[in-house]
Amino acid sequence: MIGTRLPGSDLPLADHDVIAAYLAASGDDNPLHRDRHVARSAGFEDILVPGMLLMAQMAECLAAWPHCRSIKRLQCRFVEPVRAGTPLRCDGRIVATDPTGLTLVRLTAGQDRRILVLGEAAITLA
């Protein structure tokens, strides 16, 4: 199984409306994610997509893979801040099996060849 690739998929576009819905659902009210003025004062061009939303989307992308029975651990590193409305594609590949028998999957979310989020998941296989 090592080397097996997940079918890549486009993450749901996190535009202003989706981010607003996420903030309402999650309870997050960080103004960097809802107030363009605040975001600009912090040096960003636009409001930022919450990292927690990106992680949630990547987890769902993995969870929808028929070979994934359960996710045990997911780590995401946010390589760069992601501006609202940035289209992202999620890809993944099985890279190893850990000593406990869990399968390790390397995940990326990015635009073209630019990786914006780097993840590693430990899963059990179906």
Partner 1 sequence: MNARTETSASRPIGAFPVTVDAARVRDYAKVAGASTNSVAPVPFAFPICWLSPPEIRVAIIAAVQEDSGIAGGVLPVHLDQTIALSENLRVGEDYLLSLAVDGPDPRRIVQITGQITAPDGRAVGSLELRLALVTCEGAQAASRPRS
Query: To the nearest whole angstrom, how small is the minimum distance from the Cβ of residue 24 to partner 1?
Result: 7
**Which positions lie near partner 1, rule CB under 8 A?**
11-12, 18, 21-22, 24-32, 35, 37-38, 41-43, 48, 50-53, 55-57, 59-61, 63-64, 66, 68-78, 81, 122
The residue among 5 and 40 lying less far from partner 1, judged by its C-beta, is 40
DSSP string, 90-109: EEEEEEEE-TTSPEEEEEEE
What CA–CA distance (Å, rounded) separates 65 from 93? 12
User: Could you count the other beta carbons within 10 Å of the beta carbon of residue 66?
Assistant: 7
What CA–CA distance (Å, rounded) separates 97 from 58? 20
The residue among 76 and 84 lying less far from partner 1, judged by its C-beta, is 76
Query: To the nearest whole angstrom, how small is the minimum distance from the Cβ of residue 100 to partner 1?
Result: 9
The residue among 35 and 45 lying less far from partner 1, judged by its C-beta, is 35
CB burial of residue 88 (10 Å; 0-12, 13-18, 19+): buried
Query: To the nearest whole angstrom, how small is the minimum distance from the Cβ of residue 39 to partner 1?
Result: 8
